[in-house]
Amino acid sequence: MKNRSRKLSEKLEFGIFTLPVLICVAVAFYIPFVLTVRYSMTNWNGISKHPKFVGLDNFKQIFTGDANFSAASWFTVKYAVLYIILVNVIAIVLAVILDSKLKSKTFLRAAFFIPYILSLVIVGFIWKFIFMQGFESLGNSTGWAVFGKSWLGEPGLAFISVLGVSIWQSVGFYLVIYIAGLQSIPDDMKEAAVMDGAGPVRRFFSITLPLLAPSITISVFMALTNSIKVFDVILSLTGGGPGGTTYSVAYDIYRDTFQNNLFGYGTAKALVLFIAVLIITVVQLYIFKRREVES
C-alpha cells in the first residue's frame, strides 16, 4: 500500500513539474502549428475576422501555377547544395590547419568565429556597402576589372555574393565543431599510423575523416536547415534582386505574406517549406547515422 501511494505521489510530482514545460511547448509550437494548418486552407488578408475557407486551392496554386515559387525553390536548392558542400569543406580544411601547432592558432580561431556572432542582417548591410562602394574604390585604385563588376546587379554575381557572404559569416561556427571533433581523436591512433608509414593525406582520409563522422553529421544537419531557410542575408544584401533572381523560398513567403497581404497563401507556402525541411533532415540524419555506425 505504501509503495503504491509513493509511486502515485512520484507520478503526481513528475506531472506538476513537467506541466509548465508542456504548456509552454504547446503555446509556442503546437497551437501555432494547428493554426497554421487552419489558415493555410483559407483566403485571408491578415485583417478580416472571418477568413474564407478554400480547402486545398492554395496548395494547388503553389504546385501548378506559381512561377515565383518554382524559381525560388530552384534558387534555394542550388544555394543549399553549394552552401552545404563549400562551408563544410572549408571548415574541415581550416580546422585541420588550426588544430596543428601554429603559434597564432588561438587568434585565428577567434578571427574566424567573430563574424558568426554578428547577425546576418548586419553582415548583409556591411557587405552591401563593400560591394557597392568598397569595390568601386578598389577598382579605381588598382584597375582590376573584377572590382568593376556589378556584384549585386547581375543575377549570376548576385547569387555568388549571397552564397559567399553566408559562408564567410558562418564558417567559424562549423570550424569550432570540427576542431572539437579533431581534438577527440585519440593521439595513439595517429601515432600508430605514423609508425606504419602513413603520410598526412593517407592519415587524413583513413583515420581523421572517418572519426569526424559525428561532427560531419551535426555540421551537415545545421548547414542543411540553415540553407533551406535562408532569408535575412537576402533581405539585407540584395532584397531579392536583380529582378527577383535571388528570391529564396523563405523570402518568397515573406513577400507574399507581409508585402502582398496574402496571409492564407503565404501560410500554405510556409507549411510546404516546413514539411520539406522535416523530410529532408530526417532522411539526411538517417543516412549519416548509418554511415557513422559503419565507419
DSSP letter assigned to residue 51:
P
- Residue 42: its H or E element: strand 42-43
Residue 218 grid cell: 551535426
* Length of the chain (residues): 295
**SS3 state of residue 9:** helix
Chain position carrying cell 509556442: 28
What's the pLDDT score for residue 89?
94
What's the pLDDT score for residue 294?
53
The number of C-alpha atoms within 13 Å of 280 and in the hemisphere containing its C-beta is 19
The pLDDT averaged over each successive group of 10 residues in the chain (295 residues) is: 70 80 82 86 83 88 87 93 94 88 82 87 88 84 82 88 93 92 81 73 80 88 89 88 88 88 90 89 82 57
